[in-house]
């Protein structure tokens, strides 16, 4: 069984106090508790502070381009669906640059686990508004305040009938760890949107701000009721729900592709001898 020591990675270059530290801790605890070894899964990350995440633990890694985590992760998963594939992205990365991929990955219902470090700001480029920044927020590059409406990724995901939709909080480590474990164990596409304070550039959505508003969904809450889930998804402001907000049992893409019913693509060999027969089709 792996221990936390097996997951020791590079020294993080995040700001002291960054919400990412909590997310990293929860994630390591989750994979250790699930008994998953470093070589048994792949993290695909994009660009931004969240993009550095896999370097700070130990695992197969594809740290690709801004916004493109989900396509790369989709390719990996289709080539080897016995590999656990986790996509890690920021709010700008996944909901902005990669918005189209987000929508279509949910539609495919491919068994990827998407963990979005949602700090409602662009950190690495120093403080520009992201899709989840509140309307009216004043920034250096938007001096009149953000005109666009704040995006609600939870509501969008439920509208697309996403197979697993949850919200966690970087400063609620045990709860977040359990959400990550549930997301990993769920068959199909899982989204965990993680509220993550940015101590340097987001002076509004602070640890305190989230703590005053965030609450755990009641034990009797039924995440399989889509209409009620949508109502919870719209809660934002005074009260922000944390937990598994919605899930369903939609058919999973990998199980619907006949080619990989018996074995993953990467384990299948190419039979050159068949080519003679194929050539005959051109006569």
**CA-to-CA distance for 170 and 48, rounded, in angstroms?**
17
Cβ proximity to another protein: between 36 and 182 the closer is 36
Phi first, then psi: give them for residue 194, nearest 5 degrees.
-115, 115
Cβ proximity to another protein: between 57 and 151 the closer is 57
Residues lying near another protein in the complex (CB under 8 A): 10, 37-40, 42, 44, 47, 52, 54-55, 58-65, 68, 70-80, 82-83, 100-101, 103-104, 257-260, 265-266, 268, 270-272, 274-276, 278-279, 282-283
- Nearest approach in angstroms of CB 159 to another protein is 17
- Nearest approach in angstroms of CB 136 to another protein is 32
Q: Which of 24, 5, 6, 4 is nearest to 14 (CA)?
A: 24
Phi first, then psi: give them for residue 63, nearest 5 degrees.
-90, 95
Place of tokens 């016995």: 82
Q: Which of 37, 114, 32, 28 is nearest to 71 (CA)?
A: 114
Cβ proximity to another protein: between 170 and 260 the closer is 260
Cβ proximity to another protein: between 138 and 275 the closer is 275
- Nearest approach in angstroms of CB 80 to another protein is 5
Percent of residues in the chain assigned helix, strand, coil, to nearest 5: 40, 15, 45
DSSP assignment of 47-100 equals SSTGGGGGGGS-SEEEE--TT-HHHHHHHHHHH-TTSEEEEEEEHIIIIIITHH
Cβ proximity to another protein: between 11 and 219 the closer is 11
Cβ proximity to another protein: between 149 and 281 the closer is 281
- Nearest approach in angstroms of CB 218 to another protein is 37
- Nearest approach in angstroms of CB 270 to another protein is 4
- Nearest approach in angstroms of CB 253 to another protein is 9
CB 24 within 8 A of CB 56: yes
């Amino acid at each position: 069984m792996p221990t936390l020591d097996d997951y020791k990675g590079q020294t993080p270059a995040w700001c002291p106090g960054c919400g990412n530290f909590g997310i990293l801790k929860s994630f390591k605890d989750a994979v250790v508790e699930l008994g998953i070894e470093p070589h048994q899964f792949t993290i695909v990350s994009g660009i931004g502070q969240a993009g550095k995440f896999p370097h700070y633990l130990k695992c197969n890694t594809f740290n690709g381009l801004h916004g493109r985590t989900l396509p790369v992760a989709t390719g990996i998963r289709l080539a080897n669906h016995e590999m656990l594939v986790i996509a890690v992205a920021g709010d700008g990365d996944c909901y902005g640059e990669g918005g189209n991929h987000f929508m279509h990955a949910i539609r495919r219902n491919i068994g990827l686990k998407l963990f979005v470090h949602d700090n409602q700001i662009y950190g690495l480029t120093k403080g520009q508004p992201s899709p989840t920044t509140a309307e009216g927020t004043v920034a250096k590059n938007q001096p009149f305040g953000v005109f666009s409406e704040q995006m609600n990724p939870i509501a969008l995901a439920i509208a697309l009938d996403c197979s697993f939709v949850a919200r966690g909080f970087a400063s609620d480590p045990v709860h977040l760890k359990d959400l990550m474990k549930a997301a990993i164990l769920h068959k199909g596409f899982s989204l965990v949107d993680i509220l993550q304070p940015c101590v340097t550039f987001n002076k509004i959505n602070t640890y305190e701000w989230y703590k005053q508003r965030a609450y755990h969904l009641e034990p009797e809450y039924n995440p399989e009721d889509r209409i009620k889930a949508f109502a919870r998804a719209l809660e934002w402001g005074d009260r922000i729900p944390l937990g598994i907000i919605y899930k369903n049992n939609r058919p999973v893409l990998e199980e619907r592709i006949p080619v990989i019913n018996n074995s993953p693509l990467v384990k299948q060999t190419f039979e050159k001898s068949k080519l003679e027969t194929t050539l005959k089709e051109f006569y």
